[in-house]
Structure 1
């Protein structure tokens, strides 16, 4: 890769320095431009914190491991596409170990395990301040974009389509921002955020992760928040999934909770999905809280979610499958129409409040 393609920001900083003698020095961050047929991994491995790897329009047949803090991996819109290379490994599960070696050939890396873009740190060495933006990830056996041990991850204008498990997923991560993304027709959740998948432990604090203005369509579940606390879902559009939003806890302590679900539009999530080992069949579900506490569901528009699942309904408060109750949740000020029914409470927990909702049907009666 030629210097003239990758160092224009450094040159600009030098020119400014010569023209303005009194100006403070400007850090030189390099832009590494990658074209289809060139190696994204090679550019990522060459990058330093603060650099940008810019992918041009076209299709790249590659998976990528990112372990450099402060890196921006950016495409030029939906026309920048990452797909698996022919014969790529499908792996068994996303790795939670370290990133790929500098050769990009680590056999056990996350990318080699059937994932598209992997932002991967460790407990001892997190990967902070990474941005992934303006590109499409599609056709990967596991996850389009997967992150673990990431602090301050930003994912913007990413389109994750037809990946085998999740569109965009994180574990063990805090301070995340997921904005203006599209996740469509993925095998499980379009957006999946969890403390951990492989271990049993209580919910962890995301320290203010925000999921906003995303479109989730045609997935099994639009957004899953699993065993997390202190997170906001706002202004998203969820349609055509089997279920819109799941906030999920279990018997571990602390419970999932302090999740705010507000100002979302959740409609016609009537796709039918069969029962799994962990969950009943899904159809016609807007928002489910199960095993959660101290959460707020407010000012959402929830329409025409119709199905025959035990979890069907506009907003459903459901006792978890391991017997954990939901407590002190507030469902208020939502507009619900045409769901079957609009509000459902099958939980036996304490302190849950339904108030000020505009709705016409509930189970049991009297919640509207």
Structure 2
């Protein structure tokens, strides 16, 4: 069996059975255990593709960068707490709520807790981050770029200043059973890129499923992406529940399924920013999107006076792009204001069918 060559890990693969009842998945794959007071990053650096870095309960004051495919970083539940290193200076830029991040510096210097980073020419494949808490970071709890087949599961992203869990330029991700709360912008944020004006990127089937998103500015933002599903999530107490954003770039954002979610009381009040007006009381907002299906959701008691307020809202984007060929069907809506269904978008061929609701704007869509 493969031996852990760094003394602070205090293990070989053969010793795992005595400590935790765990053994390597195969003779070629090892589990490296990190105890409180030890460095997660050193264990990640020592691990090989296919290995698991298992972090025991405790507080770990560091940021962790993963650049190897096939690696699993797994905590022992929410009591595995990753927090900022107080000795690392972080620039002011990461705290801005527009997602701006420095282009240079380490994962910690950019204000992120866990970074999963590929390259411009090669995506990082098959990485898993699970069963831990990331909290108090100046930018994101978990940030991924240029990944393929990333899994983020049972991560608690709490009180990070911009995003809870975020990814750019990534495909075939699975974000499941996470809890994002108290983050300054989106609990979950997925985009093609925030650093350039480009058309929507195809995620090749990213899945956002069974997450709890609460008390963020926005529960979930999907920005300039195509081909993904948003299913069975519980989204509450944000300013906006789900925000699907496109613009005038081609290809357009869309081909997204928003299905079987519970989206209730997203009535937190958020001030305007350079990009958006003040936000409050929005369940699902589609702006500049096409061919997106919003179906079989329960959307109730989202109340506000923002231009984007309402249960399901189609809104012409702030750069003039319209929403077209979207389908809003078979949802249960009640108690949303100014209306359960709101369409202020002049785009073509949007349909509203089979919804259970009381009021629409304009009237006649219920």
Q: Matches of residues 192-231 of structure 1 in structure 2 within 5 Å?
A: 192-231=189-228
Asked if structure 2 preserves the Cα contact closer than 8 Å seen for 1:289 and 1:316, the reply is: yes
Q: Does 1:119 align with 2:102?
A: no
Which residue of 247, 250, 253 maps to 1:250?
247
Q: 1:35 & 1:223 partners in 2: Cα distance?
A: 33
Q: Which runs of 5+ in 1 are unaligned?
A: 13-24, 98-106
> Helix, strand or coil for the counterpart of 2:273?
coil
Cα drift, residue 168 of structure 1: 0.2
Report the equivalent of 1:102. none
* Contact 1:10–1:30, Cα closer than 8 Å, also in 2: no
* Pick aligned residue for 1:139 from 136, 141, 148: 136
Query: Does residue 316 in structure 1 map to residue 322 in structure 2?
Result: no
Whether 1:344 aligns to 2:342 is: yes
Distance in 1 of aligned mates of 2:49 and 2:26: 15
Partners of 1:96 and 1:120 within 8 A in 2: no
Return the offset for 1:87: 3.2
Match of 2:97 in 1: none
CA positional deviation for 1:95: 6.4
Task: Check whether the contact 1:95–1:110 (CA below 8 A) recurs between aligned residues.
Answer: no
Quick check: 1:175–1:208 contact (8 Å CA) kept in 2? yes
Q: Distance in 2 between matches of 1:26 and 1:183?
A: 34
Task: Kindly provide the CA deviation profile for residues 289-312 of structure 1, in whole angstroms up to 9, marking residues without a partner as x.
Answer: 000000100000001000111100
**CA deviation string 1:234-263 (max 9, x = no partner):** 000000000000000011001100010000
Range 140-149 or range 88-97, more displaced:
88-97
Q: Which residue of 2 aligns with 1:46?
A: 46
Which residue pairs with 2:303 in the alignment?
306
Distance 2:226 2:253 in 1: 5
- Which residue of the partner structure matches residue 365 of structure 1? 363
- How far the C-alpha of 1:9 sits from its partner, in A, is 8.6
**Residue 328 of structure 1 aligns with which residue?**
325
Q: Distance in 1 between matches of 2:15 and 2:347?
A: 57
Per-residue CA deviations over 1:95-128 (Å, capped at 9, x if unaligned) read: 697xxxxxxxxx7123321100000111123211
Name the structure 2 match of 1:33.
33
Q: Supply the distance in 2 between the matched residues of 1:330 and 1:9 (Cα, whole angstroms).
A: 56
Return closer, same or farther for 1:65/1:149 CA change in 2, 3 Å cut-off: same
Instruction: Tell me if the contact between 1:9 and 1:31 (Cα under 8 Å) persists in the aligned partners.
Output: no
Question: Residue 178 of structure 1 contacts residue 212 of structure 1 at CA under 8 Å; is this kept in 2?
Answer: yes
Q: Is the 8 A contact 2:226 2:256 kept in 1?
A: yes
Secondary structure at 1:155's aligned position in 2? strand
Match of 2:87, SS? coil
Answer yes or no: is the 8 Å Cα contact 1:96–1:110 preserved in 2: no
Q: Secondary structure at the match of 2:109?
A: helix
> Contact (CA 8 Å) 2:239, 2:281: kept in 1 or not?
yes
Alignment size in residue pairs:
347
Q: Which residue of 2 aligns with 1:283?
A: 280
| Contact 2:90 2:108 survives alignment (8 Å) | no
Please report how far the alpha carbon of residue 11 of structure 1 lies from its aligned counterpart in structure 2 after TM superposition.
9.3
**3-state SS of the aligned residue for 1:5?**
coil
1:236–1:324: structure 2 CA closer, same or farther, 3 Å change rule? same
Q: Which residue of 2 aligns with 1:68?
A: 68
* Alpha-carbon distance, 1:7 to partner: 1.2
| Counterpart residue number, 1:8 | 14
Corresponding position of 1:88: 88
Question: TM-score w.r.t. structure 1 length?
Answer: 0.91
Question: Which sections of structure 2, spanning at least 5 residues, go unmatched?
Answer: 1-5, 19-24, 95-99
**Per-residue deviation, 1:4:** 6.0
